[in-house]
Amino acid sequence: MIAEVIVDLSSESIDKIFDYESIEGLQRGQLVLVPFGNKQIEGFVVNLKAHTDIPQGKLKAVGSILRNEPVIKEEMFALAEFMKQEYHLRMVDILRLFLPAEMRGGRVREKIKNFVILNDEYKDVEKVVDIRKNAHQQHNLLCYMRANPIADYTKVCDTFSRGAVVALEQKGVLKLCEQVVDRRPKIYETEKKNVTLTVEQQHTLDAILNKQNGKFLIHGVTGSGKTEIYMRIIEDCVARGKTAIMLVPEISLTGQVLSNFTNRFGDNVAILHSGLSSGERYDEWQRIFSKKANIVVGVRSAIFAPVENIGAIIIDEEHDNSYVSESNPRYNTHEVAEFRANYNNCNFILGSATPSIDTFYRTEKGELTLLTMKNRANNKALPKIHIVDMCAELSRGNSSFFSFKFQDELKKCIDDGNQAIVFINRRGYSSFMRCVDCGYVAKCTDCDVSLVLHKEDNQLKCHFCGKRFKVLTRCPMCGSEKIKQGAIGTQRVVEELHKAFPSVPIFRMDNDTTKTKNSHMEILKKFAECKPAILVGTQMVAKGHDFGDVSFVGIIDADLSLHFSDFRSNERTFQLITQVAGRCGRAQKEGTVVLQTFSPKHFVYKKAIENNYDAFYSNEINLRKTTNFPPFSKIVRLLFVGGDELRVKEYLAKIYFKLKDILKPYGSDIYFVEAMNSPVKRIQGKFRYQILMRYKDELHEELIQKIYRLVDENKDARVSLFVEINQQNLS
C-alpha cells in the first residue's frame, strides 16, 4: 500500500501531498514520522491507496507511527474538504487547526508523577511486618499508608525519608508506580445555584429538545438566563450519551461561565481557551480525545475539538466578532459549526441579546427558528438609559469628560456602596499627539497609523505592531512645544475618576492590562470582591459578565464606533450599548445607564434606549437592502502585502485587469469593484493594497471559486495575496 502524507512544514509554500510506502497497521488520519530531505518530520496520513507514479527505487517508506489511534477522524476530513473549498486554505493549515501545536512535534508531554501504593495484603492491620523497633520512620510510614493506600511519592519521601520508603518497598509492603496526572486549568469557585426555569426559559428549552436536529436562534435580553438553558441542553446530551460543544467569546469565558459549568458537570467538561498553559491545553485535549470529557466549552478554536457523536453545538453571544478569524487561516466559526451540526445531525443553537443582522435575517428566511425571551430571569426591569447631549453640556459650561448626569449618578452609586462600570472604547491615555502649530501627528515608522500615548510607561505606542516611541515634547517638524493630546482613553479615564473618588478602588480592563494568563479573571475577581468599586474598560467589560451589585454604567464616548466608516457601525454600536447597559441592575439593585454623545438623535441610540431590537433590525435591514450591503451581498477583499511597493502595485494591476474580465458577464449584479490603498497603507514595514468588491449574495458560490482559481493561477513569489470574505475589520 501507498500512504499519502501531508508533511507538517510551514515553509512549504505549496500544499502538496507526498507518497510513501506504507507500513504495517497504518491507517488514514494517523500522525507519522516520514523521511523528508535528510530529516524525519511529522506528517498526517490523509489517504491510503494501491498505486503511485513514483518509480520503485525512489519511493521512501513511512518511518514510524506516532500515535496508535488516528488523530484525524472521518468527520474532520470532511470538514477539511469543506474549509479548503470555502476558504481556500492550505490543507496543512487546516489540519493544524484540528491538532494544536502541543499535540504535534513532541514538544509537550504528559505529566507523570510517582506514587507509592500499599500492597493489598498489608492493608490488614494484623499483618505483621518485620520492622526494627527503633526504625520510627518506617513504623510511621506504614501507619500513614494504612490510612492512605495511595500517596504522592515526593510528599511521602519528604515526610518520612526516602530510606523508609525504600526499606518498606524491599520488604514487599509498598510498591512504586507512575501515573499520568491531568493538568487542569484554574477555575474560580462560585456558589451553586439551583433554579426553577421561568416560563420563557422552559418554552425555549422545550422547543429545542423536542427537535434534536434543529437550528435555532435564542434572542434573549441580557439576563434572561440563556446560560441555564445551555446547561440543560447539555445535560440532555449527556443523558443521551452524546457530546456537546459550547463556544463563548474569549473574555466572557473567564468568570462565572466556567465555574457554572464545572460546578454542574465536573470533570466531564474540558475547557479550551488561549489563556491555558501548553501543558493544560495538552491535557484538556487528551481528555476530550480519550472521551474522559464529553463536554467542550471554549473559544472559537474549540469548534475543532475532537469530539464524536455530537448532540448539540451552541454559540453563545453569537454576534461577537471574535468568531471570525481575521488572520490566516481565515474561517467563519458559524459556518464550521453548522457544518459539524449537519454532519452529526444535531441541534445547532445560536444565542444573543443582540443578534447580528446576518443571523436575524436567517430567521426571517426560515433557516433558523427564532426563540425569543423578553424578560430577565429574575423578572427585574432592564436598566434605564439616559442620553446626554455633550454639545448642550458644553454650552452649560461643563467641559470635563463627564457630564453632570454622569457625575451625579456615579456619585449616588458609590455612596450607596455599589459598583460601577465605565466604558470607553479606546485604550491608552490619549489617542494621538499633535503639534498645534503645524499639525504634525506622531506616527509609527513602520505602520501608517498615529501613535497612542501610554502614560504609565510614558511612551507612545503603535497599536498595530507594538513598537514604542518617545513622548513628543517638541515638534520634530517646526520645533513648537505646543503639543495637543487627542481623544481620551482608558488610562486617562482612570486618572480622572481617581481624582474624583480618591478612596474608591478602580480597576482597568483593556488589552494592556490583560496580556498575561488569567489576568482577565484576576481583574474581574478582584472587582467582584470590592464594594464600592469602579471598573473602567474597553468593550471587554461589555461581554457577558454577571455582577449582582453593578448599579451604574457610564458610556463615555459612544459615537466612536458609530462614526466608523463601516457598514456594520450601526449594528456594532447598538450591540455595544445594549450589552454594556445589560451589565447593570441584574440582581436586587436597579440599574442606571448614562450614555454621552454628540449625536443624541441618532436612530441607533433611540432604539437602544427603547430596548427595541426589532425596530432597530427592521430599520437596519431596509438600509442594507436599499444599499446592497450584506446580507444581500458579499464583500470580498483581495489584500496584497509586500515589502516592495512597486511590485505590489504591479501585481495588483495584473490581478485587477483579469478580475474585471471575470466579473464583466455579471453586469449590474456586481455592485462595486475597485483597486486602491488599504485603509492602513503600511503595517510592520509592508505595503498594503487591496481590491474591494461587492456582489449579489446569490453569486457567491460561483464567483468565489473563480476568484480562487485566478489567485492560484497567478501567484507572485514576493507579494502575499489574501482573500477575505465579509471581513469584520478592514485595516
* Residues within the interface to Zn ion (CB under 5 A): 435, 437-438, 440, 444, 446-447, 462, 464-465, 467, 475, 477-478, 480
Q: Are 8 and 90 in contact (CB under 8 A)?
A: no
**For residue 675, which of 622, 638, 717 has the smallest C-alpha distance?**
638
Helix, strand, or coil (residue 648): helix
Residue type, 2: I
The 3-state secondary structure of 146-203, one letter per residue = HHCCEEEHHHHHHHHCHHHHHHHHHCCCEEEEEEEECCCCCCCCCCCCCCCCCHHHHH
Torsion of CA 188, 190, 192, 193, to 10 degrees: -130
Q: Which of residues 489-548 bind ligand ADP (CB under 6 A)?
A: 546
Q: If binding is defined by CB under 6 A, does position 23 make contact with ligand ADP?
A: no
Comparing CB distances to ligand ADP, the nearer of 58 and 193 is: 193
Minimum Å gap between C-beta 529 and ligand ADP is 17
Minimum Å gap between C-beta 198 and ligand ADP is 5
Q: If binding is defined by CB under 6 A, does position 226 make contact with ligand ADP?
A: yes
Minimum Å gap between C-beta 226 and ligand ADP is 4
Specify the stretch interacting with ligand ADP by CB under 6 A; choose among 218-226, 328-336, 553-561, 616-624.
218-226
Comparing CB distances to ligand ADP, the nearer of 198 and 403 is: 198
Distance between CA atoms of 422 and 595, rounded to whole angstroms? 10
Binding mask 665-704 for ligand ADP (x = CB under 6 A): ----------------------------------------
Q: If binding is defined by CB under 6 A, does position 193 make contact with ligand ADP?
A: yes
Kindly provide the b/e burial profile for residues 600-632, where b requires at least 16 CB atoms within 10 angstroms of the residue's own CB. bebebbebbbebebeebbebbbeebeeeebbbb
Comparing CB distances to Zn ion, the nearer of 105 and 479 is: 479
Question: Site for ligand ADP (CB under 6 A): how many residues?
Answer: 17
Specify the stretch interacting with ligand ADP by CB under 6 A; choose among 126-134, 194-202, 599-607, 685-693.
194-202
Minimum Å gap between C-beta 152 and ligand ADP is 37
Rama region for 154: left / alpha / beta (φ>0; ψ in -120 to 50; rest): alpha
Helix, strand, or coil (residue 76): helix
Q: If binding is defined by CB under 6 A, does position 224 make contact with ligand ADP?
A: yes
Q: Which three cell numbers stand for residue 115?
A: 506514587
Residue type, 395: S
One residue of 80, 377, 670, 721 binding ligand ADP per CB under 6 A: 377
Cα separation values, 54 from 33, 44, 49, 60, Å:
19, 19, 13, 10
Specify the stretch interacting with ligand ADP by CB under 6 A; choose among 63-71, 90-98, 225-233, 477-485.
225-233
Residue 438 touches which member of ligand ADP, Zn ion, none, C-beta under 5-8 Å by kind: Zn ion
Residue 444 touches which member of ligand ADP, Zn ion, none, C-beta under 5-8 Å by kind: Zn ion
Distance between CA atoms of 490 and 441, rounded to whole angstroms? 21
Give the residue carrying C-alpha cell 483593556. Answer: 510
One residue of 138, 227, 294, 430 binding ligand ADP per CB under 6 A: 227
For residue 220, what are the β-bridge partners?
373
Residue 435 touches which member of ligand ADP, Zn ion, none, C-beta under 5-8 Å by kind: Zn ion
Residue type, 289: F
Minimum Å gap between C-beta 457 and Zn ion is 16
Q: If binding is defined by CB under 6 A, does position 228 make contact with ligand ADP?
A: yes
For residue 420, what are the β-bridge partners?
534, 552
Minimum Å gap between C-beta 252 and ligand ADP is 9
Comparing CB distances to Zn ion, the nearer of 446 and 716 is: 446
Q: How many CB atoms lie within 10 A of CB 661?
A: 9
Helix, strand, or coil (residue 74): helix
Minimum Å gap between C-beta 203 and ligand ADP is 12
Specify the stretch interacting with ligand ADP by CB under 6 A; choose among 193-201, 264-272, 570-578, 592-600.
193-201
Q: If binding is defined by CB under 6 A, does position 284 make contact with ligand ADP?
A: no
Residue 311 touches which member of Zn ion, ligand ADP, none, C-beta under 5-8 Å by kind: none
Specify the stretch interacting with ligand ADP by CB under 6 A; choose among 176-184, 226-234, 280-288, 617-625.
226-234
Residue 446 touches which member of Zn ion, ligand ADP, none, C-beta under 5-8 Å by kind: Zn ion
Residue 223 touches which member of ligand ADP, Zn ion, none, C-beta under 5-8 Å by kind: ligand ADP
Residue 465 touches which member of ligand ADP, Zn ion, none, C-beta under 5-8 Å by kind: Zn ion
Minimum Å gap between C-beta 706 and Zn ion is 35
Specify the stretch interacting with ligand ADP by CB under 6 A; choose among 77-85, 139-147, 195-203, 322-330.
195-203
**For residue 20, which of 71, 82, 63, 66 has the smallest C-alpha distance?**
63
DSSP labels, 520-549:
HHHHHHHHHH-SSEEEEESGGGGSS---TT
One residue of 30, 198, 573, 633 binding ligand ADP per CB under 6 A: 198
What counts of helices (H) and strands (E) characterise the chain? 21, 30
Q: Which three cell numbers stand for residue 715?
A: 501567484
Distance between CA atoms of 691 and 636, rounded to whole angstroms? 8
Q: Is 37 exposed, middle or buried (0-12, 13-18, 19+ CB in 10 A)?
A: exposed
Q: If binding is defined by CB under 6 A, does position 277 make contact with ligand ADP?
A: no
Interface positions with ligand ADP (CB under 6 A): 193, 195-198, 201, 220, 222-228, 377-378, 546
